[in-house]
Structure formats: C-alpha cells, structure tokens
C-alpha cells in the first residue's frame, strides 16, 4: 500500500457539493490524500457517506484497483481553510457558480497556498480572468473543468487565463494524467470552454426544434441516445463523419457540407466548411487513419458498436 498512497502531500478541495465529492473520488482512488473544505453542517455529514458510496460502487464494477479500506481514510473534511492549503500540491475549487464568491475565495487561496501550487476552479462557464485577475498570485489560477461525473467521464478541460503561467498549466496537466483524467488543454479562454460549447450547440438546436414543433422532446432524446450518442461514444464527431462517407472527411464535406452550412444559416450562424478548414481536418484524420485502412476501421466501428449495444441491454431494459 505504501506505493499506492502519496504521503506527505495532499490535494485541497474547496466545497463538498457533488462536484467536490466527485473530485475527491478521482484523487483518492489514485492515492492522493484529500482535504475537503466545507462549513455547511449538512454537507459535511453527507459528503463522507457520498464518497464511500461512490468508491464502493466503482469497486463493485471493477473500475478501481485499490481496496476500499485503503482509499476511505484518504478523505478528511475540514472547516479551516488554512489546514487544507498548508501542504497542498493542488487546489480544486468547487463552490457554487457565483462570480463574487469565487473572487473572494481566490484572493484568499492565493495568499494561503505555497508558491507554484495550481489553484483550479471547476466552474462550467466562468473563465478564470473573470474572477482571478486581481489576486496577488494570479499566475497560479486557472480553470480545470471536468465532465459530470468526473470519476466516469475521464476528461478535464484545462483552460488557462492570459495570466496563467505555463508551468502551472504543465503541472495541472501532469496531475490530471496521474489521476487518469485525459487533459484537454485549450489554447485560450472561450465562453463555455469546449465541452459546453459542443453540448450547447446541440442543446440550442434541440430547444429550437422543440420550439419549431418538428419533433417531440422524447424523440430527440431517443435519436441521440440510440443513434448519434451511441456512435459518438465510439468515435467522436470527426471520426464519425470520416467513416460515414467512402473517401473520408473530404468526401463527407463535399456531399454534406452545403446542407450543414444551410442548417447553420437557418439559425443565423455562418460556419465555414471552406476548403482550407476541411483540408486541415482531413489531414488530421488521414494522419490517424490512411484511406487504405478505411474499410477495416468501418468494420471495427461496427464491432465496437455491437459490443456497446449488448452492454446497453443490461440497463436499457429497466428504462
């Protein structure tokens, strides 16, 4: 067990709501002691139970290697901000999405944490420049936005503000890799980051389709769950369309691009499917999959989806 637990250090988490507890699961299951700061009594009582129930469930499904008995003691809950910052190697802020509260908290955390320790916000939509511009050590502040729940969706968007130092970005990236979260480093801040921009684009269209009276709310969920989502959970959107048309993404763009541009234009967007942009995406895809392997990959896609369809039967029957 000595090898599993990272001694003499810990991760500080601020806020024991569902995202705070979920991050505690991510760090503790990879051997990091976690000090979770919370003052609301009901949440303090709830957090430990929630943490234990989540690690038990993950263990039951074989998704964590180490014993529950080794992981459980790694979480401690504290009502004193200084004792969670003292020897922290990383701070993950998980308080409600209120800009003024984050401003005050980041000012405090920036004073309390040792030099060079990243102070990351789990915010879904507030760029660090909106709440950390004026703190004394703003070069340590950034956003690390996970999907929900992070112990299952293993990606983390790392969003540096213009003032975030590259070494803090690099440290955050390494820590994410170490806790088996795939880091997605954005080049710069953007509204909603990438995860929520992609989700938002689809949600905006979904709401508009309901508004237009074209299709029912239930059928939208069904089209995505049983078709688009099923395929995207195997391939992602670019690989999906790369495999949808013989000849790959270039042929797809030639055939479907004008329709997609029109769909966008009907909602007011002017997304370009211009030659240069399509060439760039096609080049990235061809680097991953030469066209001569296209058919083989299509068969792989089908087998991969068949595996998921079989697995889905276990729970979709209970739906």
When binding is defined by CB under 8 A, the residue of 45, 79, 116, 225 that contacts a copy of itself is 225
When binding is defined by CB under 8 A, the residue of 277, 279, 290, 291 that contacts a copy of itself is 277
Measure the CA dihedral 112/117/122/123, to 10°: 70
Residue 33 CB coordination number (10 Å): 20
DSSP 210: H
When binding is defined by CB under 8 A, the residue of 45, 65, 80, 125 that contacts a copy of itself is 125
- 174 forms part of the interface with a copy of itself (CB under 8 A): no
200/290 with CB nearer a copy of itself:
200
- 198 forms part of the interface with a copy of itself (CB under 8 A): yes
When binding is defined by CB under 8 A, the residue of 99, 104, 255, 293 that contacts a copy of itself is 255
Q: What are phi and psi of 39, to 5 degrees?
A: -115, -25
Write the interaction track for a copy of itself spanning residues 287-316; mark x where CB under 8 A is met and - where it is not: -x-----------x-xxxxxxxxxxx-xx-
Select from 7-15, 70-78, 164-172, 273-281 the region that touches a copy of itself (CB under 8 A). 273-281
Judged by CB under 8 A, the chain residues 232 through 251 that form the site for a copy of itself are: 232-239, 241, 244, 246
Judged by CB under 8 A, the chain residues 84 through 123 that form the site for a copy of itself are: 97
Residue 127 burial (C-beta neighbours within 10 Å; 0-12, 13-18, 19+): buried
When binding is defined by CB under 8 A, the residue of 7, 42, 115, 213 that contacts a copy of itself is 213
108/149 with CB nearer a copy of itself:
149
Q: How far is the CB of 217 from a copy of itself (least distance, A)?
A: 4
Q: Which residues contact 257 (CB under 8 A, 6 or more apart)?
A: 273, 278
How far is residue 110 from each of residues 139, 144, 295, measured CA to CA in Å?
10, 16, 54
Handedness of CA 212, 216, 217, 220 (dihedral sign): negative
Q: What angle do CA 169, 232, 261 make, to 5 degrees?
A: 90
When binding is defined by CB under 8 A, the residue of 186, 251, 286, 294 that contacts a copy of itself is 186
Residue 232 CB coordination number (10 Å): 14
For residue 72, say if its preceding peptide bond is cis, omega within 30 degrees of 0. no
When binding is defined by CB under 8 A, the residue of 79, 104, 199, 291 that contacts a copy of itself is 199
44/264 with CB nearer a copy of itself:
264
Q: How would you label 44-64 residue by residue, b for 16+ Cβ within 10 Å and e otherwise?
A: bebbbebbeebbeebbeeeeb
Judged by CB under 8 A, the chain residues 136 through 155 that form the site for a copy of itself are: 147-149, 152-155
Judged by CB under 8 A, the chain residues 40 through 69 that form the site for a copy of itself are: 57-58, 61-63
When binding is defined by CB under 8 A, the residue of 78, 101, 170, 205 that contacts a copy of itself is 205
Select from 25-33, 81-89, 136-144, 206-214 the region that touches a copy of itself (CB under 8 A). 206-214
40/214 with CB nearer a copy of itself:
214
How far apart CA 18 and CA 124 sit, in angstroms, is 14
């Amino acid at each position: 067990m000595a090898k599993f637990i990272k001694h003499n250090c810990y991760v500080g988490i601020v806020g024991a709501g569902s995202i705070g507890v979920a991050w505690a699961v991510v760090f503790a299951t990879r051997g990091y002691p976690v000090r979770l700061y919370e003052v609301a009594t009901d949440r303090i009582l709830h957090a430990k139970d929630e943490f234990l129930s989540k690690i038990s469930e993950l263990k039951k499904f074989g998704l964590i290697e180490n014993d529950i008995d080794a992981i459980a003691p790694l979480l401690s809950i504290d009502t004193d901000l200084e004792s969670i910052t003292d020897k922290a190697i990383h701070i993950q802020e998980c308080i409600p999405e209120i800009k003024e509260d984050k401003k005050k908290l980041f000012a405090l955390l920036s004073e309390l944490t040792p030099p060079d320790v990243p102070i990351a916000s789990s915010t879904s939509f507030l760029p660090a420049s909106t709440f950390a511009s004026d703190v004394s050590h703003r070069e340590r502040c950034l956003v690390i936005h996970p999907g929900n729940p992070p112990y299952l969706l293993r990606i983390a968007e790392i969003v540096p503000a213009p003032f975030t130092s590259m070494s803090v970005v690099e440290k955050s990236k390494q820590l994410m890799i170490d806790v088996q979260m795939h880091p997605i480093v954005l080049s710069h801040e953007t509204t909603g980051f990438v995860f929520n921009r992609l989700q938002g684009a689809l949600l905006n269209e979904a709401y508009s389709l309901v508004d237009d009276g074209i299709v029912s709310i239930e059928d939208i969920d069904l089209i995505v769950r049983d078709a688009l989502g099923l395929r995207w959970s195997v391939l992602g959107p670019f690989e999906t369309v790369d495999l949808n048309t013989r000849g790959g993404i270039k042929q797809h763009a030639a055939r479907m691009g004008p329709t997609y541009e029109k769909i966008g234009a009907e909602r007011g967007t002017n997304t370009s499917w211009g030659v240069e942009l399509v060439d760039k995406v096609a080049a990235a895809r061809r680097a991953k999959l030469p066209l001569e392997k296209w058919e083989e990959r299509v068969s792989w896609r089908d087998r991969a989806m068949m595996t998921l369809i079989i697995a889905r039967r276990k729970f979709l029957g209970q739906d």
